[in-house]
Structures are given as structure tokens and as C-alpha cells.
Structure 1
Amino acid sequence: MTGPIKQALHSGELVLGTFVFEFATTGIGRLVAGAGAQFVIYDAEHTGWGWETLGRVVATTRPTGVEPYIRVPTAERTQISRALDAGARGIMVPMVDSADQARDVVRWAKYPPDGVRGAAFGVAHDDYAATDNVAYMRDTNARTMVITQIETVAGLESVAEIAEVDGVDVLWVGHFDLTNSMGIPGQFDHPDYLGALDRVAKAARAAGKFAGFMAGSKEEAAMLVDRGFRILAYGGDLWIYQAALRTGLREVRELG
């Protein structure tokens, strides 16, 4: 049993979601669902959120049908296992630089025989239900989304090998960190950066995987789709709110 996002991607659909960095409320998952997003990534890399906060937003998102993922701060077994046991349907791992690192990420995210994820049942990730635990492990292995971020020169150079790792689903470009690593910080029109986007999309396509990105505008999203990206997050909560408020205030201020 694969999850709805994997099914949509493999059917050729463009999959859309968003990031949440700031608004850790019990309503945020329902707001995301009401807006039409298919997934939400709760960020634990650039926020100060603890596991209680992450568990709460994931728990209140799961019933909406939106797939809740957590971006862990580092590629460590404890971070990945806690995110998944808190109820996340998948994990995003920053700065994956090699196929060996990607294989470790997959092993930590999957139950035996596919990995070494620790087994605890009747807790948050299985909705506290008594079930066939062996069948649950098999189904969860198939459903769990593994997103590896390509955001360093080392990761870019190894992207084809990372894409070939069984269990990796998405190669996600971390655009600012990637340009920092390339020595062209913030130069998103630089030909080397644009070539890097193409390289990631090509590697994903060749391996039967998918390229992902956080797009900040319709125009940027169109450029990415043209390059072969198939899973996009439209911005993040704080920037979307600030942009909408700025526009509204400016329009009302012009009345005076």
C-alpha cells in the first residue's frame, strides 16, 4: 500500500504542498487542507520546535488527508525515527551528500527487512490502534516518503548515485544552500545553478524518482515544471502571510 503522494507522482500528476515554519497551531493542517495542498512539510531544521510541538501539528494534520512530513535537522537515526514515530508520513533530510548517506537514511526510515527502524506499536504513528503489526510494517515501508535534499556540491556530484538508492523517493533541491556551496550565493539566474537544476531533474527521471523544490511564485514554479520537477511546495507559512498582509495593507493605504 503506497501513500497518495507516491501514487499521484507515479501517475504523472504534479503534486503540490507547502512548508510550515512558524504557525504551529492545531488548525494549520486544516488550513493547508482547505487551501488544496496535498502535503505539508513541518520544518525542524530552521525552527526551534521540539517534539511535542511537531507531534501536535502532525496529529492534527493526519485526519485531514494532507500528508504530513517533517524535515529533520540532521541525517541521524534518532531524528528520523522520532519524526516517524511522532506520526509523520515521511521525512526530508538536509544535505545528503552521498549514496552511502542516502542508504543510511532509508535504513533508519524503514522497518525490517528493508531497514532497521525500531518497532513500537499502539503509539502515535499507528493512531494507537491494535493491528497486524507485521502487515503494518510492510505497508508503512511502502508508504513512507523519503526525501533527500541536494544542496551541496558534493550532493550534486553524487546525485545520480543518490537517485539510484532503493527507498529514496524524491531529490529535493535546497536552492540557497546549493548556491552557497557552489560559490554563487543567491544567484538563481546563474547558468551553473540552472544547469544544476537540470542535472537533478535528469538524475531523478533516469532512476524513476522525482525532483522537488520550494517555489516562491507561479513563474518560478513554471520554470521548474518545464525542467521536469514534479513535486513542489508553494512557499512557507510566514512568507505567504507576510506577502498577503503587505499587499492588503498597501491596497487599503492607497485609499487614503
Structure 2
Amino acid sequence: MTRDLKSLLVSETTHIGTWTQIAAPEMVDLIGLNGFEFTIIDCQHGPFGIETAENLARAADANDIAVALRVARNDPVEIMKALDAGIRHVVVPNVETAEQAGQAVAATRFGPHGLRGACPCCRSGGHFIRNWEDYVIAEETRTGAIALVETAEGHRNIGAICTTPGLSALMVGPFDLAVSMGLNGNWRDRAVIEAAKDMLQAAKDAGLPAIMPVFAPSKTECAELIAEWRSYGVSCFVIGSDKIIVAEAFAAWSSVLTAQTKAGSATSP
């Protein structure tokens, strides 16, 4: 585990990652081998659990890309399992209040300062921690919670959320935000864009790093959105997902080959 998401979050350089929703370490290999710097393993919408996520994290480590895990809910046990598996950051969905953000942070910290369960035999510590005191000190500095704010209620409380002590970063969820606002997932709607800008500005004002998902299937539109969000202090971008990128590649190949096949058939005697 060499590359760390925390160092990317505080960098002023643009960093590109994606979502991992396909339960295959080979897919994480391809993400790393093709220039992405981090991935977020999706245990909320991905059809797998922590056993699979741990192996996906091993692939991320092997390819020297940073990794986080989106837990299914703001639950101390789920967060503990992710951290014990050696995944240093968790993305906590549907954070709507500062209290919920504080609960997520507490789940990443050992007692007496937090709620994280303690076990000396886990992957994050090499499966048998001989010096527990040093391990705890190291974990406290390298692990963290990222608040995924994706509802109108979260938008209303964004100032308090962003000033939650110990929070590692804010992530805006534009698709769910558009659903919450009654816009049927239309993340391009001006009201959604403005709400996202409000949230990013609140993070910037609080000195909190931000991560922005970019779903645009067009590479040109994606680049334009990255440039726009950069002006709000964002350095880390989650581009599409492994499924979106693979589906686009399949579609590009099939459309070209189908067109060529039809053209060849039309000219055949």
C-alpha cells in the first residue's frame, strides 16, 4: 500500500479515478494499468461484499493506485470491516447532517476517541500486530471518512457537515441529488449544478478537500466539467465507472465493426 488517497486529496494537481462495480481484480488491474490513480470500490451498488472488496483492494495495491470503499450505509461495523481489510478510506453515503458525518468519523477511530472495534489480527496490520500502540497511531493518521452528500437535505446542512472535525473530504452525489430534488436524475439541470457548486464552495471555505463524480459519457464534456469543478478547488475526480467505460468501449467497437460489415455486404457481388 504505497499510494494513499489522502495525499491525492490535498494535492493541487488533477487526479483521476473511477468506481469499481465489477467484481473482478482484473478490472482493477486495467484501471491501474491505464493511468487512473485511484478507484472507489462500490459495496453500496456493487453486487458484492467485503470478501470480494478485500481482493479488489489487493489488486489496487498491486497496481499502486489509491483505493477507498463506499459502504452500503453509515454503520460502524461496515466501516470497521473496510478499514480492517486494509482499505484506508470509506465513502459514507447519504450524509445529511453534521451528526451523521461525526458518526462516520467516529467509526474510523479507535476508543476512547471513536467507535472502531479493535482486533490485532487483520489485514490492515499485517494479520498479527505485535506493536498495537504504534499501529493505532499509524491508523489514526492514515484512515478517514469521506461524506457523500447527495440529497436536498444534505445540501441544506452542507456548512455544518463540512466543518465536522476529522472528516477527510466531501463528495457530491449529483445523480442522487437530482433525484432528491425531484428532477428524475437529471444531473445536468441548472438547479443541480448550482447546488453542487454551493456544496463545493462550502467545502472550500472550510478547508475540506472535495471529490467530484463526472458521469458525462462524452470525453469532451467530461474534460469541460473537470475544468469547471477545478475552479471550485476540486482536485480529485471520479470518472464514470468501470461499467460505463467498458460499455462505451464495447459500443464503439461494435458500431464501427457493424457499419463496416454492412458496408462490405452492400458492395459484395
Cα–Cα, structure 1 residues 113 and 208, in superposed 2: closer, same or farther, change >3 Å? farther
Is contact 2:18–2:39 with CA below 8 Å preserved after alignment?
Answer: yes
Name structure 2 gaps, 5 residues minimum. 216-221, 262-269
Counterpart in the other structure of 2:13: 13
The answer to which of 207-216 and 154-163 deviates more is 207-216
Is contact 1:200–1:211 with CA below 8 Å preserved after alignment?
Answer: no
Structure 1 runs, 4 residues or longer, greater than 4 Å off: none
Following superposition, the deviation at residue 165 of structure 1 comes to: 0.8
For residues 129 and 35 of structure 1, the distance between their equivalents in structure 2, rounded to whole angstroms, comes to 34
Q: Deviations over 1:119-145 (max 9, x none)?
A: 112321223254432122122121113
Cα–Cα, structure 1 residues 64 and 172, in superposed 2: closer, same or farther, change >3 Å? same
Q: Deviations over 1:43-73 (max 9, x none)?
A: 1111220222112212332233212211011
1:126-205 correspondence to structure 2 within 5 Å? 126-205=125-204
Is contact 2:150–2:172 with CA below 8 Å preserved after alignment?
Answer: yes
Match of 1:252 among 241, 244, 257: 257
For residues 112 and 205 of structure 2, the distance between their equivalents in structure 1, rounded to whole angstroms, comes to 26
- Which one-letter code corresponds to 1:248 in the other structure? W
- Which one-letter code corresponds to 1:218 in the other structure? A
Q: Deviations over 1:161-200 (max 9, x none)?
A: 1111122121111111101111222333333212111111
Identity of aligned residues (%): 27
User: Rg larger in 1 or in 2?
Assistant: 2
Counterpart in the other structure of 1:4: 4
Following superposition, the deviation at residue 113 of structure 1 comes to: 4.8
Following superposition, the deviation at residue 202 of structure 1 comes to: 0.8
TM-score of the aligned structures, taking structure 1 as reference length: 0.91
For residues 210 and 42 of structure 1, the distance between their equivalents in structure 2, rounded to whole angstroms, comes to 20
Is contact 2:146–2:169 with CA below 8 Å preserved after alignment?
Answer: yes
**Count of residue pairs the alignment pairs up:** 254
TM-score of the aligned structures, taking structure 2 as reference length: 0.87
For residues 235 and 126 of structure 1, the distance between their equivalents in structure 2, rounded to whole angstroms, comes to 32
SS at match of 1:254: helix
SS at match of 1:36: coil
Is contact 2:21–2:47 with CA below 8 Å preserved after alignment?
Answer: no
Cα–Cα, structure 1 residues 189 and 56, in superposed 2: closer, same or farther, change >3 Å? closer
Name structure 1 gaps, 5 residues minimum. none
Cα–Cα, structure 1 residues 151 and 43, in superposed 2: closer, same or farther, change >3 Å? same
Is contact 2:179–2:186 with CA below 8 Å preserved after alignment?
Answer: no
**Is 1:105 equivalent to 2:110 in the alignment?**
no
* RMSD, aligned α-carbons: 1.9
Following superposition, the deviation at residue 12 of structure 1 comes to: 1.6
